[in-house]
Structure 1
């Protein structure tokens, strides 16, 4: 993984020192809250419903065991003994004291981490496929390109005050596990007819109040121009993006207003001035960065034919163990979705434990998944049983990856000041309702996503089943949608926005509503169809009829 240079370390340390001074001046009364707000936000510190929240960047979801140990120590020292992994491959602390926030940033800097640009109207954390570098369906390893974009975007003075926040995702696999279609810029690595590597460029995707699938504005962009072209996109956005209305300030609104064709024309006109300019990536620079991600030498390990008599171990392998491009190895998904736990939460003890497992079994590296789970990407198949046995001791071996209880959920009204409704209790209630693993296995792949408000941090729009918390006269209600897809699900489904089935439900009704939706699927599925296939074939009308009682 990428190791900081002396310059990288100096920049991050300088930011810590700068913030510590700003914090001290605020605490002494020299800086008002209004003056301090943009300064703390530039360092990832929000003020939530009950306490500050610190969001820490995990570039393209990659951590070393040393870093994960440090994150565990921060949870113990500065928080309440746990942390939360988000859908954008970041980690969040929900209870840090403002007075100690500079100390946390120093602890992060000591292990080559920071919270820079995890908030504010700037380019946020660059995300990618959680299996990057080991995926069998990968064209090339996208992480070097992500790292180049990370270095380019961090502290970029021209894009420090955009109309709104800006998110970039990079993917290089057949299955788009980075949800590139729902980012402000999605870069999908492809080859042209000559065999050259480049990018299919998508712009204007996003969820929130106006969910939109990104539009392709370039079918093939040579990799050397990825920074120049992103700069061209951002300049058009910076020039014409709306600043008078925060709800209409995202680039997706600009692309929709202009039309994808006109937006692409303006980007190409801007690109003519940038092409082959100073932002062009050279082969030497790519190789320098790629050197940090060079294919490791895997010791030869045998492929294993496992004993199928151990049903529990077989079930875990089926759901939580993923293919690896090197024979004799597998990627292990560590489920952070056991029942009665907030999806994506992990305790200090669990974080230390996973870091130790990574040191012993996975070359000291851990990945963070968009689905709010952790991954040990390089486990020898002959070690899988030992890893499974170890994970069980910490409640981290729930065999539910891709199933109904592998729920994506934002922190919701328990923490977030923007939320209309709670997310965690709804997730837990659904997990209680569907706690029978045999039943879940019969249902196969179903992605259920929950958001506490229209900001869509739980990606409810693209869940096969989406749940959105809404406010009705000061009470919490929940709207249900069906048929969404982020493009990463079985069968190669196209990215799709789910359709709302009708009026919202009270909190205590939601588990039964989900049960009726599942029963409708079981009654209509054909030839082993997955849930999403059935929804796409029959539409939402049969589900709606079963969920809402007939009117007399």
Structure 2
């Protein structure tokens, strides 16, 4: 895990002092609302429907037990006892008092955390695979590259006021677990014919009002050229991206308007100007950053332990959790544990102060003092010995974090919706609760197989509804909440945008509509065929006919 040096700490401390003075001046009436707006956004502070919301950065989802304890303290001291993990792997506090936000930022700085660039038209938190560094199917650990990008992009003077926010994801596995194809830039570690490892570069992906799958701009980029090439892309976007219309200001609109070939030409021309510069990554610098992400000293005797098999045979509930909520590890004798933040009747991604401390305890005792947040709004303990899985499960179950639903319909991505967000058109939390109450039979969910359900309360798509196998979008119709359904989306390596099923359905009918969709899937599927594969094979029409048959 990257550790701040003196310069890092000084920058964060100085930012806290600066924002403390800005907040004082605003509260004293010396700064107008408009003047304070840009300043608070630079520090992750939004004004939501009922209160300020502070978004705290968790770079590429990696978080220490010390940081988890600090977040628990902040939730308990300055908020209402909980936080909310987002699809950008950050954590949000929904109820801080404006005058106390500088105190929160000062406490975060004590544990090498901040809220810089979690909002505003800048380069946001770079995300990656939650199993980075431990998954067996990985070509190379992408986290050092995320850290290199973080250091380059943080407080970058040229890119502090981009046309719109900018998001980057990096993956090191053929399996895309970071939704990289719907990012402004997606970076895939790949190997060329000469055996060299570099990056495939995608550009122009994104969701929101105009969802777009990213396009390949470069099939192979040498590692030493990473920052100069990213800088070239950002410069072209910064100069040519639209600033007259925020809905058309994302890089995806520019790439679509220019065409990928013309955009590539512009980037290459800019790149030639800066390719041989201080932006070139040296072997020494790459090695320095990689040094923070060296493998832990795993227990060589873990592979010989047989207690796991005995526990699996003797405890059915544990076996089900093991099958659903753990992931293969590259070291024999270890597994990665997914901590479910999707309890049946609680908002997805929410975590209490006590639960944060429980995860911190488990990380310290069983996973080298680290945890990870995921873009699917769960947590991961990446390095748990097989012999310790039963104890971890027991602790998680005691604190409502062991629901064995990972990858199922109820492992939903859900934005906070109208209950919190000032931009939302419709509520989401009540719909998620309705779905959870309706689909409470785990055996039925397991029979359905892997299904990704994503829900957003508005077209901004913070819940990634476009790329859910089933997507739900809340819309306002004359003051009433209605919900548009899409099917066939994917955020994996076979990324696709869902297709609209038909007219939107009333709030009370969402779960019943899902029932009909799933009944159609069961009728149409072949042996072992997933929901997504079935939709792609038969198309939308059979599902549409089932859902809307009663209306005709």
| TM-score w.r.t. length of structure 2 | 0.98
Q: Distance in 1 between matches of 2:152 and 2:477?
A: 44
* Aligned residue in 1 for 2:94: 94
1:302-341 pair list within 5 angstroms: 302=303, 304=306, 305-306=309-310, 307-341=312-346
1:455 matches 2:460 = yes
* Aligned residue in 1 for 2:391: 386
* Aligned residue in 1 for 2:104: 104
1:175-205 per-position Cα deviation (integer Å, ceiling 9, x unaligned)? 0111110000111111111111110000000
Q: Distance in 2 between matches of 1:161 and 1:34?
A: 16
**Equivalent residue pairs, number:** 547
1:197-230 per-position Cα deviation (integer Å, ceiling 9, x unaligned)? 1100000000000000000000000011111000
Alignment partner of 2:195: what SS?
coil
Q: Distance in 1 between matches of 2:329 and 2:551?
A: 53
Is the Cα contact below 8 Å between 1:465 and 1:484 reproduced in 2? yes
1:53-105 per-position Cα deviation (integer Å, ceiling 9, x unaligned)? 00000000000000000011100001000000000100000000001000000
Match of 2:416 among 411, 414, 421: 411
Q: Distance in 1 between matches of 2:296 and 2:341?
A: 28
1:157 matches 2:157 = yes
Deviation, 1:398, is 0.3
Q: Distance in 2 between matches of 1:296 and 1:314?
A: 27
1:438 matches 2:439 = no
* Aligned residue in 1 for 2:372: 367
1:336-355 pair list within 5 angstroms: 336-355=341-360
Deviation, 1:326, is 0.5
1:29-48 pair list within 5 angstroms: 29-48=29-48
1:53-452 pair list within 5 angstroms: 53-300=53-300, 301-302=302-303, 304=306, 305-306=309-310, 307-452=312-457
Q: Distance in 1 between matches of 2:266 and 2:282?
A: 25
Q: Distance in 2 between matches of 1:137 and 1:539?
A: 31
Q: Distance in 1 between matches of 2:512 and 2:143?
A: 42
Q: Distance in 2 between matches of 1:116 and 1:363?
A: 27
Q: Distance in 2 between matches of 1:273 and 1:46?
A: 38
RMSD over aligned CA atoms reads 0.9
1:110-152 per-position Cα deviation (integer Å, ceiling 9, x unaligned)? 0000000000000000111111111111111111111010000
Q: Distance in 1 between matches of 2:494 and 2:331?
A: 29
- Cα separation, partners in 2 of 1:512 and 1:9, compared to 1, 3 Å: same
| TM-score w.r.t. length of structure 1 | 0.98
Alignment partner of 2:71: what SS?
helix
Q: Distance in 1 between matches of 2:159 and 2:334?
A: 42
1:495-534 pair list within 5 angstroms: 495-534=495-534
Q: Distance in 2 between matches of 1:538 and 1:334?
A: 35
Alignment partner of 1:118: what SS?
coil
Alignment partner of 1:188: what SS?
strand
Alignment partner of 1:548: what SS?
helix
Alignment partner of 1:302: what SS?
helix
Q: Distance in 2 between matches of 1:295 and 1:273?
A: 38
Q: Distance in 1 between matches of 2:417 and 2:330?
A: 38
Is the Cα contact below 8 Å between 1:302 and 1:382 reproduced in 2? no
Runs of 5+ in structure 2 lacking a partner? Answer: none
1:482 matches 2:448 = no
Alignment partner of 1:150: what SS?
helix
Q: Distance in 2 between matches of 1:528 and 1:514?
A: 20
Is the Cα contact below 8 Å between 1:445 and 1:531 reproduced in 2? yes
Q: Distance in 2 between matches of 1:529 and 1:187?
A: 30
* Aligned residue in 2 for 1:490: none
